[in-house]
Amino acid sequence: MNKLLRSTKLDDQVEIQLIEGDILAVKADGVVNPANSHLIHGGGLAGILARKAGPVLQRESAAWVKEYGPVSHGSPAFTSAGALPFKAVIHAVGPVWGSGNESEKLRAAVLGSLERAQELALDSLALPAISTGIFGYPLQEAAQVILGAVRDFSQQDQSRGLSQILVVLYDDRAAAAFSEAWDRIFP
């Protein structure tokens, strides 16, 4: 069961929610997959999404990489959602902790995902704690970067197509870190 932790509406336009629970159980048009640059969906949330979506997700991901090359931090790929309850999956490449310039790369991945959602005319997007799993990004730092990027995007005029951004956290440690950051970023 998903639990709403925080919610705000910026400029009476974009609603942002912080949710603890299962990203696959939220109601949204799109979901962000924290991917690697070659879109090989083996472990972590990427692996879960690929298994639940069925083989179409990996097939379309491989076709994307073949056509466009490896995915960059700031320019996420997208595919259909297969058997998942979403219209699209946006594949965002977050940084591996220790690779250098991690906050810039993570911010680019979040902003790129939100921009891609607009391009796809999605009304709502579910976003996980990108890079905090197998990529090792510390939760407190990631929370600051991710929520800061969501806030900054939502305050721009071009954010008007996206009406809801759901930041979905998988456990109580992530929920605590993001709740603490939320209280600083969204006073």
pTM of model > 0.85? yes
Backbone angles phi, psi at 4, to 5 degrees: -75, 120
Contacts of 122 (CB under 8 A, 6+ apart): 28, 29, 30, 87, 88, 161, 162
> What average pLDDT does range 84-92 have in this prediction?
98
- The reported pLDDT for the residue numbered 160 is 64
Integer-rounded Cα Rg, in Å, for the chain is 15
Q: pLDDT tens digit string along 93-108?
A: 999 999 999 999 999 9
In the structure, what pLDDT confidence band is assigned to residue 138 with cuts at 50, 70 and 90? very high
Q: pLDDT tens digit string along 9-57?
A: 977 678 999 999 999 999 999 999 999 999 999 989 999 999 999 999 9
- The reported pLDDT for the residue numbered 158 is 58
Please name each of the domains of the chain with its CATH number. Answer: 3-185 (3.40.220.10)
Is the pLDDT at 157 greater than 80, yes or no? no
Closest CA to 158 of 92, 114, 128: 114
